[in-house]
Structure 1
Amino acid sequence: MPRSRPSPVAYLRTHVPFVALAVLLASAFLLGGGSRDDIVSLIALRPIAVICLGIGLYGLTGEQWRAFRLPLGMMAAIIGLILLHLIPLPPAIWQAIPGRELAIAAGEAAGGIQPWRELSLVPYRGWNAFYAMLVPAAAMVLAVQIDREDHRKLLYVLIAAAIASALWGMVQAIGGFGPGLYFYDVTNSDSPTGFFANRNHMAAMQVCILPLLALIAARAKGPRMRLIQTACAAIAVLAVMMAAATGSRAGIALALVALAASWLVWNARPRHNNALRRRDQRQRWVPFAFAGFGAAMLGGFALLLTRSQSFERISGTSPVEEYRFLVWETMVEFLPQYLPFGSGIGSFVEIFQVHEPSAMLGTSYWNHAHNDWLEWTLEGGIPAVLLMIVALVAFVRGAFALLSLAHTGRFGVQLGLAGAIILFVLGLWSAVDYPLRVPALAVVAALASVWMAFPRANQALQGLGRAQSGQSAGKPVFMSSEGSFATRPSTRANEGTRVG
């Protein structure tokens, strides 16, 4: 009897989400490597993100929403907070909000009539923040709908993107850092930045793939196991060397943190029998030794090509480092003026110019505080602080839950640990920079958030699959090393409650 063709809805849920996510990832890395709001390539990236988000919302079921409610809920809360800052308020309410005195005085000087105004003091930047969030939101909504094998493919996609960026960074060095080799006009033109505009963000991407490489190496098996592990070790060393080649201090420090933390992913690998374990103990350093030598040669070549400018930058100072603490000190002084509601999402540039110390005045300006935790507090006020506290508590609880399951050797647990390491590194990085304002890195963070929720979401979907198993046959969605995590019901049962 011939098989019946799946309905369009079933096909959408099983195939299109991964294709859309792959397109979004490629677009984010090629078009979204900068944090500025005036990058021309955003004209193409953001419509692509809107289309992908629409595809994701159409296919999202209520069961998937409940299974991944924490990351999806946090994303919705962030976008909701941004939109709240863009709602026009009556003059009586708006004038009563702290920190609006200068705008009120400007209105009185212009004629005395106060119009309805948004909560944000710089509304157009708030709208930019909203549109920027559509990129990671689309990635997250699509990521919760794909199965285990597709998530495994995503690991290779991200690693390939990082390698391609590193290779392009080498090309930039070989070409003498010519302007035609950079993707963006405003960039670190004396460093290998790859697909990114900023050397720090190039380094961040290289660091983020380290736990992913540990995961792939840990899951390798069969006759190609040593080859895969050797390749992963070589790429890891090359990634660390390229992070150093950018001259990013944070890149060097956090690469060491990520390398050390990646041991947690490696240690959570499936356990072999005693004989294989003893053989692994004897041979475990062989592939790493060869890979380290080869990759160190490539990395050293990359460093030589930079004419030691990266090391000069590491040992020297720049205006950012010179004034960073002064910026933070100044922000701490004037920040209470804008509490409890904040100055408005995206308003840092204009607000800081109002309070900027005379010693910092010049022809350039500060586009960010180089501390996203502090900048988010200024712009979002107490609601933003509460969101950050919820995120931190959820992260700590999730990390400890993953560590308690590390002995199971399951792919989902290892994937969750890798995601936790990525978020931990980007969270630390955000204390001295703004990596999550780059679309490409924001997408990586969105995927990492989904990965952290994997084990718990799998349990929820497994319970749903068992409840429906008596009504319809299904096929595995999330698989552990021992068997099925959850079951995707057949076409009719999978049509569920659609969100969006």
Structure 2
Amino acid sequence: MNIAFIALLILIVWLPLPFGSNHAWAWALMEVGIFSLALLWLWQYLRGRQTLTPAFYKAIPILVLWVIWLIYISFQLIPLPYSWVQWLSPQAAQVHAFTNPTFTTLSVAPHSTADGLLKSLSYVLLFTLTLLLVNTQTRLRWIAYVLVFSGLFQALYGSFMTLSGVEYGFFHEKVYGLGLATGTFINRNHVAGYLVMCLSVGIGLLIAQLGNGTTADTWRQRIVAVLSWILSPKMRLRLILVFMVIALVMTHSRMGNTAFFASMLIAGTLALIFSRHANRATVILLVSLIVIDIFIVGTWFGLEKVKQRIEETTFATETRDDVDIDSLPYWQDYFLTGSGLGSYYTTFPRYQNSELKQYYDHAHNDYLEFATETGIVGVLLLGLVVLWSLGVVLAAQFRRQNALSRGIAFGATMAITALLIHSTVDFNLQIPANAATFMLILGLGWVARYLPTQTTNISDNEVSLPPTRLAKTVVWSLMIALTYLIPQAASWGVADAIARRVQASMEKWPQQEIALSEWMPIHNATAYALRLAPNNPALLIRMGYIYHWQGIQLSVSPKEKLAAFQHALNAYSKAVKRNPTNTSIWANILLVKQNHLQQNDLQFITAFDFAAKYGPWKLHAQQAIIDVGLATWYQLPSQVKSIVIATIVRGMQSQAALVRKLIKHHRRQWAVCAYAGDQAELSQLCQPIDVQTK
């Protein structure tokens, strides 16, 4: 078996293990793995060890769409003339306006978009590698079984952790989802999404193994048939599917379970309509899956709890619909080109209403998240790719006579349908392991449609015809690009791993006194991480915190304190240029400038505006605006005073005790109430003054 194909199988199993590859270091490993695998395939192609497959040629239109997608995301990153950005995305131009740029990007969070571009490239390459490496029926069966066994591992691991009470994820004790099956993922909904995709492929394999419905005439033949079925691979596969359904139910994921059963019904109905080869055995199998999984497995392993969660779900208790509603004006502001892939977490707080108290890094709706980040252009591109692929797998069920191809096509139909359903209330496609697996299944759908029944594979000792000069030029160009991208992705991953260790160490600082000898290694580690990823705003913020802490807590000279605060301000200023909608950075700029540097300049005024505008309900931003605003009240222009008053009004709804404490500390109650006038929201705060006046 070809080494590239073996590496692909290993990659499939690895992807869900490190928290669904949903940490920067984990998806960097994914990117390095896929880029290296693509590099290996290109090298083998130059040596005549690999060839282009029929599925690859047939999928060229889809590959063109994927290339357009990558170019489009790159376009979000390219500095454009500011006037162009004003025309294409007025809101993005407004975000970048504080730097008075001549050139700027459509993305409001360029580093996050660059990260998203690398992930997108890895997904597209995985899709392409699936078309190129799965070139025989044997390999198609192998890759399907590996997906099923990967799902089985997640099911067994998650179920064991839940039933035993040993709550561990990926070598870490679980913090979230205690008492629920989460596998090695963080979120139960995401392991549910992964299990549904693996179940879909498994059901496809089971359908591929069905016979033509032959009957036994005697009792002896019937007994032999039953025993043969019990000992057959079909029975083992059916038991594997049962284990995965048990784990799916134990996640208590409402939409995960709903998407599974709904997609099975939809895919089954489509199979009966479109497939000319569907027989009674197919119908019996689908009915048995529903009956056994719902009424037997579900009864023992908690389907009633899933049902109860669904019944108790109301608009009053559920906040995801509020997030969707608040995301609509966000999309309206960035309708055409989006705010930049990966920028939702830092842009959404501007549109978040007062009822949503928690932090949302994703939209809990893949459609809206892609719409807000990539605009209508991105949504149309992605929608066209998915719907086209869905049409291909339906055609495979209708036209293919090969049982395995039809079965895999059924599995792909079910997986696509399930993700389309689940994506209405969750963000599975923002989880790298799930997004990559989805792309793999899309590729398998194309393979199922166009893979010849009889294929000849190039062995390790054989060579094909050498590629043309043009092909060699393209291949060498791709190899050079991948050679550059591999260390780039690796360096970002290492930087994230360092940052996580630094963060873990810094979390202990408030509980203990830190000496300079303990502070210095943290500083040096962060500085090294910044050399690896110099444009990472999160690392710049971390460095700002470190210097800020040095100036506040460490016993250093006044000159060293002043230098530390200036270094902190420089780090925050660099970070905010790379992520201008991050309100935490603006809040920290306010605190450093006023409390330590006494700098009342244009950046100081801008910080009030941006902190209030892009995070009106962020508690840290509210605290900084009110604290600094009250401290400098008599030096502030009227428009900034209005910002402070508006923030106090919001703060009285979200953290009234702290707002009262700050007003009392700065002795500004009279000034605030006099400036606020008769605002009803401050009537309770200003009531004592009215009483005393009377």
Tell me if 1:433 matches 2:421: no
Moved more, 439-448 or 220-229: 220-229
**Which amino acid is 1:231 matched to?**
R
Deviation at 1:34, TM superposition (A): 5.0
Q: Deviations over 1:442-494 (max 9, x none)?
A: 22211221122225534xxxxxxxxxxxxxxxxxxx42xxxx26787972337
**Which amino acid is 1:417 matched to?**
F
Moved more, 486-495 or 84-93: 486-495
Match of 1:448 in 2: 441
8 A Cα contact 1:28 1:440, kept in partner: yes
> Which of residues 102, 107, 117 is equivalent to 1:130?
117
8 A Cα contact 2:412 2:445, kept in partner: yes
In the superposition, relative to structure 1, how do residues 392 and 320 fare at CA in structure 2: closer, same or farther (>3 Å)? farther
The SS at the match of 1:358 is coil
Q: Deviations over 1:411-439 (max 9, x none)?
A: 32332232122112112211211112222
Moved more, 203-212 or 145-154: 203-212
In the superposition, relative to structure 1, how do residues 397 and 82 fare at CA in structure 2: closer, same or farther (>3 Å)? same
8 A Cα contact 1:372 1:431, kept in partner: yes
Tell me if 1:355 matches 2:351: yes
The SS at the match of 2:378 is helix
Tell me if 1:99 matches 2:104: no
In the superposition, relative to structure 1, how do residues 265 and 22 fare at CA in structure 2: closer, same or farther (>3 Å)? farther
8 A Cα contact 2:109 2:342, kept in partner: yes
Deviation at 1:300, TM superposition (A): 5.9
**Which amino acid is 1:84 matched to?**
F
The SS at the match of 2:77 is coil
Tell me if 1:380 matches 2:352: no
The SS at the match of 2:360 is coil
Determine the C-alpha separation between the residues in 2 that align with 1:448 and 1:152: 13
8 A Cα contact 1:190 1:309, kept in partner: no
Q: Deviations over 1:122-174 (max 9, x none)?
A: 11111221222244234222211222211110111111111110111122113
| Structure ID, larger Rg | 2
Q: Deviations over 1:1-38 (max 9, x none)?
A: xxxxxxxxxxxxx7133112112112212235154xx4
Tell me if 1:193 matches 2:182: yes
In the superposition, relative to structure 1, how do residues 21 and 129 fare at CA in structure 2: closer, same or farther (>3 Å)? same
Moved more, 381-390 or 160-169: 381-390
**Which amino acid is 1:67 matched to?**
K
Determine the C-alpha separation between the residues in 2 that align with 1:214 and 1:265: 15
In the superposition, relative to structure 1, how do residues 25 and 135 fare at CA in structure 2: closer, same or farther (>3 Å)? farther
Matched residues, number: 443
> Which of residues 222, 233, 241 is equivalent to 2:246?
241
Match of 1:217 in 2: 206
Match of 1:54 in 2: 39
The SS at the match of 2:359 is coil
Q: Deviations over 1:336-373 (max 9, x none)?
A: 2212221111111122111211222x3x3111111111
In the superposition, relative to structure 1, how do residues 183 and 144 fare at CA in structure 2: closer, same or farther (>3 Å)? farther
Deviation at 1:323, TM superposition (A): 1.7
**Which amino acid is 2:407 matched to?**
Q
Deviation at 1:376, TM superposition (A): 0.9
The SS at the match of 1:174 is helix
8 A Cα contact 1:52 1:138, kept in partner: no
**How is 1:405-484 mapped onto 2 (pairs within 5 angstroms)?**
405=399, 408-454=401-447, 456-458=449-451, 478-479=452-453, 484=454
**Which amino acid is 1:132 matched to?**
K
In the superposition, relative to structure 1, how do residues 211 and 89 fare at CA in structure 2: closer, same or farther (>3 Å)? same
Q: Deviations over 1:293-322 (max 9, x none)?
A: 99946x766549xxx876664454599962
8 A Cα contact 2:80 2:104, kept in partner: yes
**How is 1:132-171 mapped onto 2 (pairs within 5 angstroms)?**
132-145=119-132, 146=134, 147-171=136-160
> Which of residues 244, 255, 259 is equivalent to 1:254?
259
**How is 1:260-271 mapped onto 2 (pairs within 5 angstroms)?**
260-261=265-266, 263=268
8 A Cα contact 1:420 1:449, kept in partner: no
Match of 2:362 in 1: 368
> Which of residues 42, 58, 68 is equivalent to 2:59?
68
In the superposition, relative to structure 1, how do residues 400 and 415 fare at CA in structure 2: closer, same or farther (>3 Å)? closer
8 A Cα contact 2:208 2:407, kept in partner: no
The SS at the match of 2:40 is helix
Determine the C-alpha separation between the residues in 2 that align with 1:235 and 1:167: 10
> Which of residues 218, 232, 246 is equivalent to 2:237?
232
Match of 2:105 in 1: 118
Q: For CA contacts below 8 A with separation 6 or more, give which structure has more relative contact order.
A: 1
Q: Deviations over 1:364-396 (max 9, x none)?
A: 311111111111111111311321342254145
Deviation at 1:115, TM superposition (A): 5.2
> Which of residues 326, 329, 336 is equivalent to 1:333?
329
Match of 1:472 in 2: none
In the superposition, relative to structure 1, how do residues 220 and 399 fare at CA in structure 2: closer, same or farther (>3 Å)? closer
In the superposition, relative to structure 1, how do residues 396 and 351 fare at CA in structure 2: closer, same or farther (>3 Å)? same
Determine the C-alpha separation between the residues in 2 that align with 1:437 and 1:114: 31
Deviation at 1:102, TM superposition (A): 4.0
Deviation at 1:75, TM superposition (A): 3.1
> Which of residues 2, 6, 17 is equivalent to 1:30?
17
Determine the C-alpha separation between the residues in 1 that align with 2:67 and 2:335: 23
Determine the C-alpha separation between the residues in 1 that align with 2:316 and 2:33: 34
Instruction: Say what the alpha-carbon RMSD is for the aligned residues.
Output: 3.8
8 A Cα contact 1:99 1:337, kept in partner: yes
Q: Percent of aligned positions with the same letter in both sequences?
A: 21
Deviation at 1:211, TM superposition (A): 3.1
**Which amino acid is 1:437 matched to?**
Q
In the superposition, relative to structure 1, how do residues 42 and 401 fare at CA in structure 2: closer, same or farther (>3 Å)? closer
Match of 1:11 in 2: none
Q: Which runs of 5+ in 1 are unaligned?
A: 1-13, 108-112, 459-477
Determine the C-alpha separation between the residues in 2 that align with 1:294 and 1:376: 34
In the superposition, relative to structure 1, how do residues 21 and 241 fare at CA in structure 2: closer, same or farther (>3 Å)? same
8 A Cα contact 2:182 2:191, kept in partner: yes
Determine the C-alpha separation between the residues in 1 that align with 2:317 and 2:72: 31
**Which amino acid is 1:123 matched to?**
P
The SS at the match of 2:8 is helix
> Which of residues 75, 80, 89 is equivalent to 2:80?
89
> Which of residues 4, 12, 20 is equivalent to 2:7?
20
Determine the C-alpha separation between the residues in 1 that align with 2:352 and 2:173: 28
Determine the C-alpha separation between the residues in 1 that align with 2:383 and 2:267: 25
With the length of structure 1 as denominator, give the TM-score of the two structures: 0.76
Structure number having the greater helix percentage: 2
8 A Cα contact 1:34 1:184, kept in partner: no
The SS at the match of 2:91 is coil
8 A Cα contact 1:398 1:453, kept in partner: yes
Determine the C-alpha separation between the residues in 1 that align with 2:433 and 2:203: 21
